[in-house]
Amino acid sequence: MMKRAMRINPDDNTATALNDIEAGETISLVSKSGPVGEMTASQAVPFGHKLAVVDVKNGEKILKYGEVIGLATRPIGKGEYVHTHNVESALLPGAREAK
């Protein structure tokens, strides 16, 4: 069975892993309305965590649910794990203002 990740909003640049995903695995991107494409994970992504569905530039907004949840602290390639090692929260006090 192909691994899956949910892209909640069409504007999101992340998808949430619906299974543990290993680096190199092809995953099916799904939405509420069904499949929306396939991609390859370049890094392992644990269940419930995010991966980039497009290349993200340093300082660019990280979108989930159609909302800004953080800012990239370095370039993030399509298929990479998106988490605290490469994202600064836009939700926590003291975080940089989302641009």
> Using alpha carbons only, how large is the chain's radius of gyration in Å?
13
**Domain CATH for 57:** 2.30.130.110
Q: Is residue 99 part of a domain?
A: no
Helix, strand or coil, per DSSP, at residue 85: coil
Bridge partners, 17 (sequence order):
5
pTM over 0.85: yes
Q: Is residue 97 part of a domain?
A: no
Name the E strands within the chain.
Answer: 3-6, 14-17, 26-31, 34-40, 50-52, 61-64, 67-72, 81-82, 87-89
Q: Is residue 35 part of a domain?
A: yes
How many angstroms from the chain centroid is the CA of residue 5? 9
Report residue 45 as tokens: 């992504």
Q: Show the domain range for 16.
A: 3-89
Q: Is residue 94 part of a domain?
A: no
Is residue 53 within 8 A of residue 17, CB to CB? The reply is no
For 6-63, write each residue's pLDDT tens digit: 999 999 999 999 999 999 999 999 998 889 999 999 999 999 999 999 999 999 999 9
Domain count, the chain: 1
